[in-house]
Amino acid sequence: MRTAAMLLVAVGMLYPFLWMIAASLTEERQIFNFPFKLIPDPVNVQGYLDVWKYSTYGYPMTVYFLNSVKVTAIGMVGSILSSSLAAYGYSKIDFPGRDKIFLLKLSTMMIPIQVTMLPTFIIYRYLGLLDTHAACYIGTFFGATFGVFMLRQYFITIPPQLSEAAEIDGAGHFRIYSQIILPIAKPALATLIILNFTSLWNSYETPLLYLRSPRLYTLPLALKAISEDKNIIKYAGVMAGSVSSALPVILVFIVCQRYFIGGIVSGGVKG
């Protein structure tokens, strides 16, 4: 009974995505037919052709796609490096005030983003980061609190005897971090990659707030413009754009999914 209930919930959650894929491959006049066919007949790819050849704000869709790739890739690399280094320090190095500093950092997670939005905007403007891609990824690049917290919780479950044995053999902190801790922490790192990729790739509010030049826009901003221009792009095209945007997230999840559940459980429960 429980399995059947979970299956119904899964189907209910999956159906809108399947509908989006089917609608992107359906002829315009058939999209709102009832009952809707999840297997289009005939298959129509005109929506994808319309989206990818369409010029938004005077630039092709490939420009916005590559902008999103740039912002997401830089933000992820910085986040993995900075979050894992900070987590190693909080979990494996016993320095004065370590726990109090960590709790202070952890308390920032309770501050709503709406409270920090204006001060952050003023700081970024003072630093000359407005209308740059750096404004979109710098907050994640230098180690978002959740990433540090999750990795720290995982690192403290790694037996300290491993680090102590490496120290006896003459290994320093960086060698222990890079050659012992990180290989063991693959589940937590994969989880962080999935979460950061999804957040950066789908981010709409941050690019909308900081980007001014259309050539710098990311994919979510371009898709918003496409969805509002019904004279050129129809419903099938809007769905095609949404599917194109979702595919990279799905691919990253498929690559990392075998570590994902283990990372969530270990990082959120243990410690």
The whole-angstrom separation of Cα 236 and Cα 64 is: 20
Structural domain contains residue 20: yes
Q: Is the pTM of this model over 0.95?
A: no
219 and 256 both lie in a single domain: yes
165 and 241 both lie in a single domain: yes
Closest CA to 219 of 55, 21, 67: 67
Structural domain contains residue 3: no
Convert the pLDDT of each residue in 104-147 to its tens digit: 888 888 888 888 888 999 999 999 999 999 999 998 888 788 88
Q: What is the CATH number of the domain that holds 121?
A: 1.10.3720.10
40 and 158 both lie in a single domain: no
Is residue 56 within a helix (H) or strand (E), and if so which, with residue range?
strand 55-56
Structural domain contains residue 245: yes
Q: Residue 230: is its pLDDT beyond 80?
A: no
pLDDT for res 262: 57
39 and 143 both lie in a single domain: no
pLDDT for res 41: 75
Structural domain contains residue 24: yes
Convert the pLDDT of each residue in 158-205 to its tens digit: 888 888 888 888 888 888 898 889 888 888 898 889 889 999 999 999
Q: Residue 240: is its pLDDT beyond 60?
A: yes
Convert the pLDDT of each residue in 38-85 to its tens digit: 777 788 888 788 788 777 777 888 899 999 999 999 999 999 999 999
29 and 156 both lie in a single domain: no
221 and 251 both lie in a single domain: yes
38 and 107 both lie in a single domain: no
Residue with tokens 């609608």: 23
Structural domain contains residue 5: no
Tell me which long-range contacts 180-185 makes (C-beta under 8 A, separation of at least 24): 181/84, 181/88, 181/92, 181/155, 182/84, 184/158, 185/84, 185/151, 185/154, 185/155, 185/158
Q: Residue 269: is its pLDDT beyond 60?
A: no
26 and 60 both lie in a single domain: no
The domain tally of the chain equals: 2
Structural domain contains residue 147: yes
pLDDT for res 270: 46
126 and 26 both lie in a single domain: no
Expressed as residue numbers, the domain containing 31 is 14-44
Structural domain contains residue 131: yes
182 and 222 both lie in a single domain: yes
pLDDT for res 211: 92
The number of CA neighbours under 13 Å toward the Cβ of 39 is 0
Q: Residue 271: is its pLDDT beyond 50?
A: no
Cβ atoms of 138 and 206 within 8 Å: the answer is: no
The whole-angstrom separation of Cα 22 and Cα 3 is: 27
Q: Residue 154: is its pLDDT beyond 60?
A: yes
Closest CA to 140 of 91, 63, 182, 198: 198
139 and 21 both lie in a single domain: no
99 and 71 both lie in a single domain: yes
